[in-house]
Protein backbone atom coordinates (compact mmCIF):
# COMPACT_ATOMS: atom_id res chain seq x y z
CA UNK A 1 0.00 0.00 0.00
CA UNK A 2 1.25 3.48 -0.87
CA UNK A 3 0.14 7.10 -0.81
CA UNK A 4 0.92 9.02 -4.00
CA UNK A 5 0.52 12.74 -4.75
CA UNK A 6 0.22 14.53 -8.07
CA UNK A 7 -0.68 17.97 -9.38
CA UNK A 8 -3.43 19.63 -11.39
CA UNK A 9 -5.42 17.61 -13.92
CA UNK A 10 -7.94 20.27 -15.05
CA UNK A 11 -10.39 17.63 -16.23
CA UNK A 12 -8.02 16.43 -18.96
CA UNK A 13 -8.91 12.74 -19.03
CA UNK A 14 -6.46 11.72 -21.77
CA UNK A 15 -3.48 13.37 -20.09
CA UNK A 16 -4.35 11.95 -16.69
CA UNK A 17 -4.85 8.46 -18.12
CA UNK A 18 -1.37 8.64 -19.65
CA UNK A 19 0.15 9.66 -16.32
CA UNK A 20 -1.61 6.89 -14.42
CA UNK A 21 -0.69 4.23 -16.98
CA UNK A 22 2.96 4.39 -15.83
CA UNK A 23 2.04 2.94 -12.43
CA UNK A 24 0.71 -0.39 -11.22
CA UNK A 25 -1.75 0.75 -8.57
CA UNK A 26 -3.63 -1.68 -6.32
CA UNK A 27 -6.75 -1.36 -4.20
CA UNK A 28 -4.79 -0.38 -1.08
CA UNK A 29 -3.14 2.62 -2.76
CA UNK A 30 -4.19 6.27 -2.58
CA UNK A 31 -3.57 8.97 -5.19
CA UNK A 32 -3.97 12.51 -3.84
CA UNK A 33 -4.64 15.25 -6.39
CA UNK A 34 -3.59 18.56 -4.86
CA UNK A 35 -6.19 20.77 -6.50
CA UNK A 36 -7.77 21.57 -9.87
CA UNK A 37 -9.11 18.09 -10.50
CA UNK A 38 -11.52 19.83 -12.83
CA UNK A 39 -14.37 17.30 -12.80
CA UNK A 40 -16.85 20.05 -11.99
CA UNK A 41 -16.49 23.79 -12.35
CA UNK A 42 -18.86 26.73 -12.68
CA UNK A 43 -21.95 24.53 -12.75
CA UNK A 44 -20.58 22.29 -15.50
CA UNK A 45 -19.68 18.61 -15.11
CA UNK A 46 -16.80 16.97 -16.97
CA UNK A 47 -17.31 13.26 -16.39
CA UNK A 48 -14.53 11.88 -18.59
CA UNK A 49 -11.86 12.23 -15.92
CA UNK A 50 -14.14 10.59 -13.35
CA UNK A 51 -14.52 7.64 -15.72
CA UNK A 52 -10.74 7.34 -15.99
CA UNK A 53 -10.43 7.18 -12.21
CA UNK A 54 -13.16 4.55 -11.97
CA UNK A 55 -11.10 2.15 -14.09
CA UNK A 56 -8.33 2.02 -11.47
CA UNK A 57 -8.46 -0.01 -8.25
CA UNK A 58 -6.91 2.71 -6.07
CA UNK A 59 -8.67 5.51 -4.19
CA UNK A 60 -8.36 9.07 -5.51
CA UNK A 61 -8.43 11.82 -2.87
CA UNK A 62 -9.39 15.20 -4.31
CA UNK A 63 -8.31 18.50 -2.79
CA UNK A 64 -10.32 21.43 -4.12
CA UNK A 65 -8.40 23.91 -6.27
CA UNK A 66 -9.38 27.31 -7.65
CA UNK A 67 -10.66 25.68 -10.84
CA UNK A 68 -12.95 23.30 -8.98
CA UNK A 69 -16.44 23.72 -7.68
CA UNK A 70 -16.97 23.50 -3.92
CA UNK A 71 -18.05 19.88 -4.14
CA UNK A 72 -19.43 19.71 -0.59
CA UNK A 73 -21.42 22.91 -0.97
CA UNK A 74 -22.96 21.67 -4.21
CA UNK A 75 -23.54 17.99 -3.39
CA UNK A 76 -23.69 17.26 0.35
CA UNK A 77 -27.07 15.70 1.07
CA UNK A 78 -27.87 15.43 -2.64
CA UNK A 79 -29.29 12.20 -4.03
CA UNK A 80 -26.51 10.04 -5.44
CA UNK A 81 -23.90 11.42 -3.04
CA UNK A 82 -22.89 10.40 0.48
CA UNK A 83 -20.35 11.18 3.16
CA UNK A 84 -17.97 8.47 4.37
CA UNK A 85 -15.16 7.99 6.90
CA UNK A 86 -17.09 9.67 9.72
CA UNK A 87 -18.01 12.63 7.54
CA UNK A 88 -14.50 13.47 6.35
CA UNK A 89 -15.03 12.65 2.67
CA UNK A 90 -17.79 13.22 0.13
CA UNK A 91 -18.35 10.51 -2.51
CA UNK A 92 -20.55 10.28 -5.58
CA UNK A 93 -22.10 6.81 -5.53
CA UNK A 94 -21.43 6.38 -9.24
CA UNK A 95 -17.69 6.87 -8.67
CA UNK A 96 -16.98 5.27 -5.28
CA UNK A 97 -13.18 5.48 -5.47
CA UNK A 98 -13.13 9.29 -5.82
CA UNK A 99 -13.15 10.90 -2.37
CA UNK A 100 -13.49 14.69 -2.00
CA UNK A 101 -11.82 16.46 0.94
CA UNK A 102 -14.03 18.97 2.75
CA UNK A 103 -14.30 22.34 0.95
CA UNK A 104 -12.70 24.18 3.88
CA UNK A 105 -9.84 21.71 4.41
CA UNK A 106 -9.21 19.06 7.02
CA UNK A 107 -6.61 16.99 8.89
CA UNK A 108 -6.82 13.35 7.86
CA UNK A 109 -5.01 10.14 8.63
CA UNK A 110 -4.23 8.46 5.30
CA UNK A 111 -2.71 5.06 6.10
CA UNK A 112 -0.20 6.03 8.81
CA UNK A 113 0.34 9.59 7.56
CA UNK A 114 -1.30 12.57 9.25
CA UNK A 115 -1.97 15.16 6.55
CA UNK A 116 -3.27 18.72 6.70
CA UNK A 117 -5.20 19.60 3.53
CA UNK A 118 -5.45 23.28 2.52
CA UNK A 119 -7.76 23.81 -0.49
CA UNK A 120 -8.35 26.79 -2.76
CA UNK A 121 -6.40 29.57 -4.44
CA UNK A 122 -6.87 32.86 -6.27
CA UNK A 123 -7.36 32.74 -10.06
CA UNK A 124 -5.17 35.10 -12.04
CA UNK A 125 -7.67 34.75 -14.90
CA UNK A 126 -10.63 35.57 -12.66
CA UNK A 127 -11.17 39.14 -13.86
CA UNK A 128 -11.06 37.99 -17.49
CA UNK A 129 -13.53 35.18 -16.77
CA UNK A 130 -16.00 37.46 -15.01
CA UNK A 131 -15.79 40.24 -17.61
CA UNK A 132 -16.37 37.77 -20.45
CA UNK A 133 -19.13 35.87 -18.66
CA UNK A 134 -17.14 32.64 -18.54
CA UNK A 135 -17.56 30.02 -15.82
CA UNK A 136 -16.02 31.01 -12.53
CA UNK A 137 -16.07 29.81 -8.91
CA UNK A 138 -16.78 32.83 -6.72
CA UNK A 139 -15.80 30.96 -3.52
CA UNK A 140 -12.48 29.70 -4.86
CA UNK A 141 -10.39 30.96 -1.91
CA UNK A 142 -10.68 29.97 1.71
CA UNK A 143 -12.21 32.64 3.91
CA UNK A 144 -10.49 34.07 6.97
CA UNK A 145 -12.93 32.11 9.15
CA UNK A 146 -11.97 28.91 7.34
CA UNK A 147 -8.28 29.61 7.91
CA UNK A 148 -8.98 30.35 11.57
CA UNK A 149 -10.80 27.02 11.87
CA UNK A 150 -7.87 25.17 10.31
CA UNK A 151 -5.60 26.83 12.85
CA UNK A 152 -7.85 25.66 15.68
CA UNK A 153 -7.89 22.17 14.20
CA UNK A 154 -4.09 22.16 14.16
CA UNK A 155 -4.13 23.09 17.85
CA UNK A 156 -6.03 19.85 18.53
CA UNK A 157 -3.10 17.96 17.01
CA UNK A 158 -0.50 19.97 18.96
CA UNK A 159 0.47 21.70 15.69
CA UNK A 160 2.16 18.56 14.39
CA UNK A 161 1.37 16.69 11.17
CA UNK A 162 3.43 14.53 8.84
CA UNK A 163 2.62 16.36 5.61
CA UNK A 164 0.75 19.42 4.43
CA UNK A 165 -0.88 19.30 1.02
CA UNK A 166 -2.19 22.56 -0.38
CA UNK A 167 -3.26 23.80 -3.76
CA UNK A 168 -1.24 27.00 -3.75
CA UNK A 169 2.12 27.95 -2.23
CA UNK A 170 3.08 29.59 1.09
CA UNK A 171 4.36 33.14 0.64
CA UNK A 172 7.78 32.18 2.02
CA UNK A 173 8.74 30.36 -1.20
CA UNK A 174 7.42 32.94 -3.65
CA UNK A 175 10.90 34.06 -4.72
CA UNK A 176 11.62 30.50 -5.82
CA UNK A 177 8.55 30.52 -8.07
CA UNK A 178 8.89 33.88 -9.82
CA UNK A 179 10.32 32.20 -12.92
CA UNK A 180 6.75 30.91 -13.44
CA UNK A 181 4.99 34.28 -13.07
CA UNK A 182 3.62 36.03 -16.13
CA UNK A 183 5.47 39.27 -16.87
CA UNK A 184 3.59 42.26 -15.48
CA UNK A 185 1.33 40.21 -13.21
CA UNK A 186 3.50 40.00 -10.10
CA UNK A 187 2.19 43.19 -8.56
CA UNK A 188 -1.51 42.36 -8.94
CA UNK A 189 -1.50 38.86 -7.49
CA UNK A 190 -3.87 38.44 -4.55
CA UNK A 191 -1.70 36.88 -1.84
CA UNK A 192 -4.35 36.39 0.84
CA UNK A 193 -4.17 32.61 0.55
CA UNK A 194 -0.38 32.47 0.42
CA UNK A 195 0.06 34.69 3.48
CA UNK A 196 -2.44 32.72 5.52
CA UNK A 197 -0.88 29.42 4.51
CA UNK A 198 2.50 30.70 5.67
CA UNK A 199 0.98 31.58 9.04
CA UNK A 200 -0.20 27.98 9.40
CA UNK A 201 3.19 26.60 8.39
CA UNK A 202 5.02 28.87 10.84
CA UNK A 203 3.17 27.28 13.78
CA UNK A 204 3.34 23.69 12.55
CA UNK A 205 5.91 20.90 12.62
CA UNK A 206 5.79 18.97 9.34
CA UNK A 207 8.02 17.02 6.95
CA UNK A 208 6.97 18.41 3.57
CA UNK A 209 4.58 20.95 2.10
CA UNK A 210 3.36 19.71 -1.30
CA UNK A 211 1.33 21.85 -3.71
CA UNK A 212 0.26 22.32 -7.33
CA UNK A 213 -1.32 25.37 -9.00
CA UNK A 214 1.88 26.62 -10.68
CA UNK A 215 2.07 23.97 -13.44
CA UNK A 216 5.60 22.70 -12.92
CA UNK A 217 7.42 19.87 -11.15
CA UNK A 218 10.21 20.98 -8.84
CA UNK A 219 11.68 20.30 -5.41
CA UNK A 220 12.10 23.86 -4.18
CA UNK A 221 14.01 23.00 -1.00
CA UNK A 222 14.05 20.37 1.74
CA UNK A 223 10.51 21.34 2.86
CA UNK A 224 8.56 22.40 -0.24
CA UNK A 225 7.65 20.36 -3.33
CA UNK A 226 5.79 21.65 -6.39
CA UNK A 227 3.93 19.04 -8.47
CA UNK A 228 2.20 19.06 -11.82
CA UNK A 229 2.59 15.97 -14.01
CA UNK A 230 4.75 13.88 -11.71
CA UNK A 231 3.16 11.29 -9.43
CA UNK A 232 5.29 10.86 -6.32
CA UNK A 233 5.13 8.26 -3.56
CA UNK A 234 5.20 10.15 -0.23
CA UNK A 235 7.73 7.62 1.08
CA UNK A 236 10.18 8.86 -1.56
CA UNK A 237 10.05 12.36 -0.08
CA UNK A 238 11.49 11.39 3.30
Residue 144, pLDDT score: 98
Residue 16, pLDDT score: 98
pTM of the shown model = 0.96
* Residue 186 confidence (pLDDT) above 80: no
Q: Indicate the pLDDT class of residue 161, thresholds 50, 70 and 90.
A: very high
More confident residue, 44 or 7: 7
| Residue 165 β-bridge partners | 117, 210
| CA terminus-to-terminus distance, the chain | 17
Domains and CATH numbers, the chain: 3-237 (3.60.21.10)
CB 5 within 8 A of CB 34: yes
Q: Indicate the pLDDT class of residue 46, thresholds 50, 70 and 90.
A: very high
* Residue 187 confidence (pLDDT) above 60: no
217 three-class SS: coil
* Residue 86 confidence (pLDDT) above 60: yes
Q: What is the mean pLDDT of residues 72-86?
A: 98
**Cα separation values, 95 from 80, 92, 109, 204, 234, Å:** 10, 5, 22, 34, 25
Q: What is the mean pLDDT of residues 49-63?
A: 98
**Residue (of 136, 72, 124, 78) closest to 102 by Cα position:** 72
Residue 29, pLDDT score: 98
**Residue (of 216, 177, 219, 180) closest to 194 by Cα position:** 177
Which tens digit of pLDDT belongs to each residue from 88-117?
A: 999 999 999 999 999 999 999 999 999 999
* Residue 32 confidence (pLDDT) above 90: yes
* Residue 226 confidence (pLDDT) above 60: yes
Phi-psi region of 53 (alpha: psi -120 to 50; beta: other; left: phi over 0): alpha
Amino acid sequence: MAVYVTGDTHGNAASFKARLSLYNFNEDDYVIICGDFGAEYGGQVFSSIKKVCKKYPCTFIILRGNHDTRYWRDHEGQEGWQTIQNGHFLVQNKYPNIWYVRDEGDILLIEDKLILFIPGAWSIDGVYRKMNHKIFELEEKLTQDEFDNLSLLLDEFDNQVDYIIGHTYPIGVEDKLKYLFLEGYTGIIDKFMENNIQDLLDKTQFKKYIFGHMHDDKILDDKHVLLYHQIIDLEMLQ
